[in-house]
Amino acid sequence: IADLAPQMRKLLLSLTPDKPSEPLAFAEGIVTLMLCRVERPQLQMPPREDIRQMLIDRAFGSLAERQLLRERRTAIIEYPGQS
């Protein structure tokens, strides 16, 4: 519904199930809309603490990766017996 034009969205939100809308005139002809039923999706969201922890892990993970990359760039490898 969010992608519809504001006038169309307003019309659809005002409809009650199984009742047709008033006829709408378009250049191509006349249209009547009817809402069959309203369903609200049941979202399975993780708990708030899990989301918080995931965001923290992501932030610190990227910081750790950048630090590791810096360390690799400046690393000096020494082999025993070589100078």
Domain boundaries along the sequence of the chain? 1-34, 46-73
Beta bridge partners of 20: 34
Q: What angle do CA 34, 39, 42 make, to 5 degrees?
A: 165
* pLDDT tens digits, one per residue of 26-71: 888 998 888 888 888 888 999 999 999 999 999 888 888 899 999 9
pLDDT score at 56: 92
Its pTM stands at 0.40
Q: Could you tell me which of 26, 19, 17, 18 has the C-alpha nearest to residue 7? A: 26
In the predicted structure, residue 78 carries a pLDDT above the cut 90: no
